[in-house]
Amino acid sequence: MFWKFATTSNIDTLLEKEDITLQELMDDDDVLQECKGQNTKLVDFLSKVEVMEELVSYIITEPSEDTDDAMNDVLGDTESLREKLFSFLDHEPILNPLLASFFSKVVGILLSRKPEPTLDYIKSRPDFLGSVLKHLGTSAIMDLLLRLVTCVEAADLRAQVLSVISCF
């Protein structure tokens, strides 16, 4: 005998609240999955003008330094996250230009705020430069290569970057 259970997602439960906020929804672990699954209630909520205004504010407003630093620390110090981030270069050309610009921006931030672990990771990545070079037709990747050479301010770190690039 098979049982059929009617399950309600946590997002649906949250959306039943009259005073639900965007922040409450974004704090839920399932929000991205529910967006991908085209949860109608969620899409309707996110499509409200006042919610869209808040989402746009998130896009155009710099996060506080505390939040930014915490995210940099986690991304810069977690091997599996770096692996996932840099796996973007494993895609075949032509890269999506928008995604490539996001990737380039994040790596640039990591290079400036967490240079040692980022450079150590880049050095350990097999054929990093080859992966970058196969995507030079994507302007954001070309910018990333330039950033690798120029954005590191400390002389010893700049020498490290140049040695990484010259090894390839």
Convert the pLDDT of each residue in 20-69 to its tens digit.
999 898 888 888 888 888 899 999 999 999 999 998 887 778 767 666 67
pLDDT in tens, 86-138: 999 999 999 999 889 989 988 988 888 888 888 889 888 888 888 998 999 99
Residue 1 has pLDDT above 50, yes or no: no
pLDDT value at residue 163: 66
Go through 135-167 and write b for each residue having 16 or more CB atoms within 10 A of its CB, e for each that does not.
Answer: beebebbbebbebbeebbeeeebbebbeebeee
Distances, alpha carbon 135 to alpha carbons 89, 107, 126, 132, 163, in Å: 8, 15, 16, 5, 21
pLDDT value at residue 161: 62
Residue 19 has pLDDT above 80, yes or no: yes
CB count within 10 Å of CB 98 equals: 9
Q: Give the ranges where 16-86 is alpha helix by DSSP (H).
A: 22-27, 31-36, 40-46, 49-60, 65-77, 79-86
Q: Do 76 and 83 contact (CB within 8 A), yes or no?
A: no
Q: Do 33 and 10 contact (CB within 8 A), yes or no?
A: no
Separation between Cα atoms, residue 81 and residue 102, nearest integer Å:
15
Q: What's the average model confidence in pLDDT over 153-160?
A: 62
Distances, alpha carbon 121 to alpha carbons 74, 126, 128, 156, 161, in Å: 14, 10, 10, 17, 12
pTM for this model (two decimals): 0.61
pLDDT value at residue 5: 46
